[in-house]
Structure formats: C-alpha cells, structure tokens
Amino acid sequence: MDNGLFITFEGIDGCGKSTQIKLLTGYLDEKGRDYLLVREPGGTVIGEKIRSILLDKENYEMSPAAELLLFEAARAQIVEEKIRPAVEAGKVVICDRFYDSTFAYQGVARDLGEDVVISLNDIATSGLAPDITFLLDLSVKDAFARRQGRGEADDRMELLGLEFQEKVRNGYLKAADKFGRIKVVDACRTPEEIFADIKAAVEERF
C-alpha cells in the first residue's frame, strides 16, 4: 500500500490556488495515484453549512472570536470524517486551505493571537499536520487584479479589503518562518512555472 500524503495549499484570496490544485490533480490522475480533494471551510455536510454562515455577507455582525471558533469547528469535522481516514488508507489528500489560514487570517490579521490559534488548531486536528504546505505568495495588488478578472462577487472575508489582505500575507510569511513544512512558492509567474516547483516537491515525497 502507498503511504498517505497530506498536502495543503495556502495563500491570500486570488493567489491562484485553484489553478495549481487542478494541475496537481491532473498529474496524480496521470500517475494513477488515488487522491481525495477537499476544501476548507467545508468539505463535509456539516462543514458546508458552517461555510455558508462564515461567508454570508449578511453576517457582518459576527464577532472575531465566533468566526475563529466556526473555522475550527468545520476543521474538526473534516479532519475526523474525511482527512484522517483517507491519509490512513494511503491516499494523497489535497486540502484547499487548512489551519495556516486560521493562523494568518484570525491569528495575525484579526489579531486574535498566534498562540491561541496554534492551540485551537491542535484541538481541531488532534495533532494531524500536513506533510507539505504550499504557500502561493503574491502581492495583494496582483491577487486583487486576478480576483477582479474572475468577476465573482466578494464574500464576507473578501469584503474586509486590501489592508486586511496585506496583514494576511504578512501572517502567512510569519507562519512560513515558524513552520518548516511550509514551502513558499513565488506565485507571480506563469501557472506552468509555478507548477514545476510544486510537482518537484511532491515527487520528492513519492
């Protein structure tokens, strides 16, 4: 049986995660590797309900602590229901965002405290950590331009604006300094160039 591999993708809104995840799943299909693709918040019936509460623009009164705990609640569910069983069954699990998002968005940008978030992340995951995390790093200006190009309406988090996104980016770079499993990938290049780095790092693990 293959060993499981848990891969997460992180970055500010508009950093190009979806494109890279599509390239990675295409590569795994070619190699015939079994994988599970999930996203956070969401990925389970309960988690998708929590996601709609978190991203609903009408919920502008949500307190930062309520926001933090809802992200962690969705995470506890997906780890127990989907991620841990799949990794234990030898699958590659790809998660579009995981707990470094909480470190950057709630811990740093919302200023709820890095150590508080690290402790809650540990409770929500019962200690399950990604094997590799790709942080797609891009300037806030470039990421905003990409989001504009997509023409989608902003959700509650995206409505927090560019200054907030700048804090999130700094939060991510702080996480990368702290946690060796995070690989910072320069996302200001073509999708193919970016994917070459990701593919090389994944191949090293096989």
Which residue among 71, 134, 172, 195 contacts ligand TMP (CB under 6 A)?
A: 71
Q: How far is the CB of 148 from ligand TMP (least distance, A)?
A: 15
* Residue-by-residue DSSP string for 48-79: HHHHHHHH-TT-TT--HHHHHHHHHHHHHHHI
Q: How far apart are CA 50 and CA 42, in angstroms?
A: 7
Of the pair 71, 195, the CB lying nearest ligand TMP is at 71
Q: How far is the CB of 9 from ligand TMP (least distance, A)?
A: 9
- In sequence order, the β-bridge partners of residue 81 are none
Q: How far is the CB of 132 from ligand TMP (least distance, A)?
A: 17
Which residue among 69, 157, 188, 201 contacts ligand TMP (CB under 6 A)?
A: 157
Q: Is 164 in the site for ligand TMP (CB under 6 A)?
A: no
Q: At what angle are helices 64-78 and 114-125 packed, to 10 degrees?
A: 30
- 81, 130, 143, 187 from 196: Cα distances, Å: 32, 20, 20, 12
- Quick check: helix, strand or coil at residue 199? helix
Q: How far is the CB of 77 from ligand TMP (least distance, A)?
A: 13
Q: Is 10 in the site for ligand TMP (CB under 6 A)?
A: no
75, 125 contact by CB (below 8 A): yes
Binding residue count for ligand TMP, defined by CB under 6 A: 12
C-alpha closest to that of 67 among 119, 102, 33: 102
Which residue among 14, 16, 41, 47 contacts ligand TMP (CB under 6 A)?
A: 41
Which residue among 101, 124, 135, 137 contacts ligand TMP (CB under 6 A)?
A: 101
- Amino acid (one-letter) located at 75: R
Of the pair 26, 64, the CB lying nearest ligand TMP is at 64
194, 146 contact by CB (below 8 A): no
Q: How far is the CB of 87 from ligand TMP (least distance, A)?
A: 18
Q: Is 133 in the site for ligand TMP (CB under 6 A)?
A: no
Binding-site ranges for ligand TMP (CB under 6 A)? 13, 39-41, 71, 97, 101-102, 105-106, 157-158
